[in-house]
Structure 1
Amino acid sequence: MLMSAFGGLMWLIFTAILVLAVAAFVLAALAREDAYRAADKKTKPFWLIILGIVVAVNLFVPMLFLQLAGLVASIVFFVDVRPALKQVSGGGGRGRRGGGSSSDGPYGPYNGGR
């Protein structure tokens, strides 16, 4: 019983790693090529190759070490590359306005009832 619970937990972890890798691959594919250069990150084909290998390893090679290495690559994309791409593309900041202060409400700045 304990081994089947452990197997279920490992299946859940591997599935989560695969979902993260696929999401990173899709987001890398959707970003513009010039945004990678403007953000001073590696090129778009570099990230597509790395994340494509990560997805393939997660699907076809059930080796924990390789899957953890792929997890690191996916996390680096989400933590470092994607925010830089969003900032360069104008998608960073709060909402669609791209910025604002902490007193901004959903319809504009809040002026304290004045």
Structure 2
Amino acid sequence: MLIYGFQDVLSWVQLALNVYAAVMLVDAAVRREDAYRAADKQTKGMWLIFLAVATALLALFPMMSFLPLIGLVAVIVYTVDVRPAIKQVSGGGRGPRRGGSSSDGPYGPYNGGR
């Protein structure tokens, strides 16, 4: 009984990881090619191949085998290393998260006339 419950949880985890790998593949596809070179990372085509293979490995093999772990490592490396570097180079991020606050004007923060 416990084994079947564990398999259900593991199948949901595998589905979530597969969806996440597919989202990172789409994210890599919409980024500009020159941003990869400016961030001194591999080329866009290389990362698309890495992430496509990772998505396929996560979809085709059970999570308890070795191959999906290789794919998961590729997705994690893209998520924590390549993606932030590309966002920084290309001026990614929107709104207040880019470093200022919502009260910033063109010459600095607006303090309400104080």
Q: TM (normalized to structure 1)?
A: 0.84
Moved over 6 A (4+): none
Give unpaired runs (5+ residues) of structure 2: none
Q: How does the TM-score come out when normalised to structure 2?
A: 0.84
**Cα separation, 2, equivalents of 1:10 and 1:62:** 9
Partner of 2:103: 107
Alignment RMSD: 2.0
Distance 1:23 1:51 in 2: 10
SS of residue paired to 2:34: helix
Mapping 1:64-103, distance limit 5 Å: 64-92=65-93, 95=95, 98-100=98-100
User: What is the Cα deviation at residue 112 of structure 1?
Assistant: 7.0
Residue in 2 aligned with 1:32? 32
CA distance 1:111–1:2, shift in 2 (3 Å): same
Name the CA distance, whole Å, in 1 between partners of 2:97 and 2:22. Answer: 29
Q: CA deviation at 1:97?
A: 7.6
Q: Which runs of 5+ in 1 are unaligned?
A: none
> Is contact 2:58–2:72 with CA below 8 Å preserved after alignment?
no
Count of residue correspondences: 109
Q: Take 1:113 and 1:65, find their aligned partners in 2: how far apart are those partners?
A: 62
Identity of aligned residues (%): 56
Equivalent in the alignment of 2:48: 48
Distance 2:79 2:5 in 1: 30
Offset at residue 52 of structure 1 (A): 0.3
